[in-house]
Amino acid sequence: EAIAFDYDGTLAITQGLHEPARNRAFEIMFETTGDTRFRDVPKEVHAEAHRHGSSPHTIIGWILQQSEIVPADADLYSHPVVEETVSHKDKAYQDIVGAGADAVRGAVDYIQHIDQAMPGQLAIVTTARLDIELRPFLKRHGLEDIFPDSRITARENVASLKPDPEAYTRTIQMFGLEDRPDRLLVYEDTGHGIESAKRAGAFVAALPTTHSVEELEALEGYQRPDVIIPSFADLAARLQAI
């Protein structure tokens, strides 16, 4: 009865934007603190980081823990070193993303086709920020009318980020699906996002954009999707053939 899309890695190709912003943040932290551990983080750790969280605090916090800069038991949302690094990353990311990110192949065509059949029943649920990330993306790809602010649940709208189910529970309530939450189809690309939607009761389709099909198939518990789809391009082609 309704469809909700994650943003990072599902609608937008953002990994190639987040990583250089994180790298710049670590450069700044090295320059300001003199701590060589910020400079010496292996490239493999930076490249792997996006798989270990759904927010800048958890992703950057994981890198800092791997580098033994922050204790393994630290609260990643209050530790001052995490906070400072995230602040530098956010500034660098804003400079990069201002023109709007590229779309995942086939995503825009799929959305435009499905909106014709389900007008007003599409939403975005994301840990991204509305003004900095979502609005530039929607404007660039002509999706502003399909996703007005009333159909977006962004970082500013919730107290707890994914994998907490709050964002998807809010979306289920928005569509009046409290008694049948599995009538909300969710497109996600990571274990944290899948868990958030599944814990809210939604039906989840996973895209192999951040994780491979094999990695998605290996997920367990709430992180296991109901179905794995090859791509939005494949779905859009099927819709065009109907």
CA-based angle 212:216:217, to the nearest 5?
115
pLDDT > 70: percent of the chain:
99
Average pLDDT over residues 86-105: 89
DSSP class of 200: H
pTM assigned to the model: 0.77
Q: Report d(CA 98, CA 154) in Å as an integer.
A: 17
Half-sphere exposure of 104 (CA within 13 A, CB side): 27
Which of 58, 77, 20, 41 is closest to 192 using CA atoms?
Answer: 58
Torsion angles phi and psi, residue 125, rounded to 5: -130, 115
Q: Report d(CA 80, CA 71) in Å as an integer.
A: 12
The pLDDT-based confidence of 242 (bands split at 50, 70, 90) is low
Confidence check: pLDDT of 160 > 90: yes
Average pLDDT over residues 69-93: 95
**pLDDT for 192:** 93
